[in-house]
């Protein structure tokens, strides 16, 4: 089953893709309630729509994120080629623990969007895409095995984890991971595809499906989902260790090999793969999951945290507090 969520005037609707048509699921504006209801309800609603749902031409819609506001967004780091490139960018060797721990960070569920305009990170000059695949949790739990976690997946989407690289680089020097460099925008969609749709392509820890990204029609990225080191079952199991995962939680794979300008810039001249600028059209695609189309727009202005000249702002000293102690 391949679901799509789209705008309908001032509201949104959910439908099932049927060739060049979308067959509307009656009374549904967000996929999350259907995912929470369970796999049987998810499939039943889709089959009902395919039999008798009202139709909309697929080319006439602009896909939104299948879930308006996911409960959580965890983004992992599961493709080795990208991990090596990212660590080299920070002057680091490969860390042996990466092969033992499928690490992740939490991203903002409020910044999730579908196709359409994507604002640059405020204050960033080096704006980047990150081509990823996402799994959506269908039934939750804690302390899951990798096998149980694999069976807990309700569906998959294309994910683009937009990144302000210069902002990110400054933040990560402070040992807190990606913070404002990452949470301006995360694109998810264009469809929500149930596992049975791609089951025949299963290979290794993923699926033998091609992942590509173009900028203004120019090919940038090419990889295979099956290149992934950690399976989604393993990633979800790790996320559930001593904690809870819930229906609708989004699990990002991390960037595939060649899946961002940062990685490409290490092996090519900067004029070949320049950083993204307003007006650039970025198309992130995965076979079977669709094409996620976004256009980069100007960033919101940076609002200063302090008035210029405030204590500790301009002279580099630490601010002093009323008790006389520096904190």
> Residue 129: is it exposed, middle or buried by C-beta count within 10 angstroms (0-12/13-18/19+)?
buried
| Whether the bond into 119 is cis, omega within 30 of 0 | no
* Domain edges within the chain: 2-61, 73-297
Rounded Cα distance between 77 and 170, Å, is 20
Name the DSSP letter for residue 303: P
Are 159 and 132 within 8 A, CB to CB?
Answer: yes
Q: How confident is the model at residue 256 (pLDDT cuts 50, 70, 90)?
A: very high
Are 74 and 104 within 8 A, CB to CB?
Answer: yes
CA-nearest of 14, 11, 7, 13 to 192 is 14
Are 5 and 34 within 8 A, CB to CB?
Answer: no
* The predicted structure's pLDDT at residue 57: 98
Give yes or no for residue 327 having a pLDDT over 60: no
CATH architecture assignment, domain 73-297: Alpha-Beta Complex (3.90)
- Mean pLDDT for 68-92 is 88
* The predicted structure's pLDDT at residue 288: 98
Whole-prediction pTM value? 0.92
* The predicted structure's pLDDT at residue 322: 41
* The predicted structure's pLDDT at residue 312: 55
Are 184 and 122 within 8 A, CB to CB?
Answer: yes
Q: How confident is the model at residue 91 (pLDDT cuts 50, 70, 90)?
A: confident
Q: How confident is the model at residue 310 (pLDDT cuts 50, 70, 90)?
A: low
Are 211 and 138 within 8 A, CB to CB?
Answer: no
* The predicted structure's pLDDT at residue 43: 94
* Run of H or E residues at 47: helix 39-52
Rounded Cα distance between 75 and 298, Å, is 25
- Mean pLDDT for 218-238 is 97
């Amino acid at each position: 089953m391949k679901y799509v969520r789209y705008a309908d005037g001032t509201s949104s609707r959910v439908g099932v893709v049927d060739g060049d048509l979308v067959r509307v699921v009656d009374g549904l504006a967000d996929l999350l309630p259907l995912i929470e209801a369970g796999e049987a309800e998810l499939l039943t609603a889709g089959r009902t729509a395919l039999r008798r749902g009202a139709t909309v031409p697929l080319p006439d819609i602009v896909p939104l994120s299948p879930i308006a506001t996911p409960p959580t967004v965890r983004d992992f780091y599961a493709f080795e080629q990208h991990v090596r490139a990212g660590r080299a960018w920070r002057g680091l060797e490969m860390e042996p623990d990466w092969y033992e721990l499928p690490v992740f960070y939490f991203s903002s569920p409020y910044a999730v969007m579908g196709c359409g305009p994507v604002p640059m990170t405020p204050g960033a000059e080096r704006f980047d895409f990150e081509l990823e695949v996402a799994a959506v949790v269908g039934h939750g739990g804690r302390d899951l095995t990798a096998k149980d976690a694999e069976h807990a997946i309700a569906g998959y989407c294309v994910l683009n984890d937009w990144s302000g690289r210069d902002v990110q680089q400054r933040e990560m020097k402070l040992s807190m991971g990606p913070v404002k460099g990452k949470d301006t925008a995360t694109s998810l969609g264009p469809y929500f595809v149930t596992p049975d749709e791609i089951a025949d392509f299963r290979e290794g820890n993923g699926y033998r499906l091609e992942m590509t990204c173009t900028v203004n029609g120019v090919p940038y990225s090419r990889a295979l989902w099956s290149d992934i080191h950690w399976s989604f079952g393993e990633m979800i199991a790790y996320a559930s260790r001593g904690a809870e995962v819930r229906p609708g939680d989004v699990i990002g794979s991390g960037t595939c090999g060649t899946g961002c300008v940062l990685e490409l810039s290490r092996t090519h001249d900067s004029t070949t793969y320049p950083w993204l600028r307003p007006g650039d059209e970025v198309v992130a695609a995965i076979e079977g999951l669709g094409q996620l189309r976004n256009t980069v727009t100007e960033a919101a202005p940076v609002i200063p945290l302090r008035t210029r000249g405030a204590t500790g702002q301009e002279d580099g000293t630490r601010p002093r507090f009323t008790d006389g102690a520096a904190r």
